[in-house]
Structure 1
Amino acid sequence: MSDTYTVLHDPQGLIEAELSPDRAPHEALVTAVLAWKDPDLEPRDYAQIALQLTGHARAIAADVRRHAAALPKSDGRGALAEVVLREADGRLSVPLEGTARCAQNRARLVRALYTRLDRLTEPLPATR
């Protein structure tokens, strides 16, 4: 096994735009990670889980960004999405660690992004 890696530079998020993330396995991973009480994994295992969740969080954030951009300026859901996206950008800029806490923080981020995505994609109630 090699200790080298490749850094991917994709400032426009084009790769993420082409991803079709399967939500169910990632939600199951989030649920499992958040249920940890006193896990006893190797640091590299925590790092791998956090990396998986980070990639998925970036893909969901790209979806949230696209949906928010398509909303009219008068729709408050877009402003809320921007707040969540700023928070996500800040949290994703923190380097990964091989700890349970890091993996759980990434799991919380994925959950928050899915919540925002769901709110952006649900139809607004009809007004009278």
Structure 2
Amino acid sequence: MSGTHTVLHDPQGLIEGELPLDRGPHEALVTAVLAWGCLDLAPRDYEQIALQLTGHARALAADVRHRASALPKDDGRAALADVVLREAAQILSVPLDGTARCAQDRARLVRALYARLDRLAAPS
């Protein structure tokens, strides 16, 4: 324990995998961000939106990874999840730059991760 915070050791990400995702508000944010035309926000506003989407994308990627790892090795859905997870890692490795393009890239990633999560949850 450090100060008033408890530090947890969870190398397998089991705690994160059990947290429910608040899907509705994030899907609404994705829809709004992808519908932007010529929107002129301050860079810090774009960055805050991208930061929100980044955090949710990381949680989604952990959920996709967890569900895919539970599938049999010969299940094609796991292979497709690996492709989406590699793309997610690449996008998330790019630093935020406070632009509409950056926020929209993160929004597209969240949409792709939800699509993969839904396919993993569907019966094969």
What band does the TM-score fall into relative to the shorter chain?
0.7 to 0.9
Within 1, Cα distance between the matches of 2:77 and 2:20? 23
Residues 1:119 and 2:102 aligned together: no
Within 2, Cα distance between the matches of 1:13 and 1:44? 31
Q: Deviations over 1:17-42 (max 9, x none)?
A: 35422100000000000000011111
Within 2, Cα distance between the matches of 1:11 and 1:112? 25
Residues 1:41 and 2:41 aligned together: yes
Matches within 5 A, 1:1-128: 12-13=12-13, 16-124=16-124
**In the alignment, is the contact (CA less than 8 A) between 1:16 and 1:58 conserved in 2?**
no
Deviates more, 1:42-51 or 1:10-19: 10-19
Aligned length: 115
Within 2, Cα distance between the matches of 1:109 and 1:14? 23
Q: CA RMSD in A?
A: 1.5
**Structure 2: 5+ residue stretches without partners:** 1-9
Within 2, Cα distance between the matches of 1:22 and 1:78? 24
Q: Deviations over 1:70-125 (max 9, x none)?
A: 0001100000000110110011000001000000000000000000000000112x
Task: Name the SS of the counterpart of 1:96 in structure 2.
Answer: coil
TM-score (norm: length of structure 2): 0.87
**In the alignment, is the contact (CA less than 8 A) between 1:61 and 1:113 conserved in 2?**
yes
Question: What amino acid is the match of 1:51?
Answer: L
**Structure 1: 5+ residue stretches without partners:** 1-9
**In the alignment, is the contact (CA less than 8 A) between 1:57 and 1:110 conserved in 2?**
yes
Question: What amino acid is the match of 2:109?
Answer: L
TM-score (norm: length of structure 1): 0.84
**In the alignment, is the contact (CA less than 8 A) between 2:17 and 2:66 conserved in 1?**
no
Task: Name the SS of the counterpart of 2:71 in structure 1.
Answer: coil
Once the 2 structures are TM-superposed, how far is the Cα of residue 14 of structure 1 from its aligned partner?
5.7
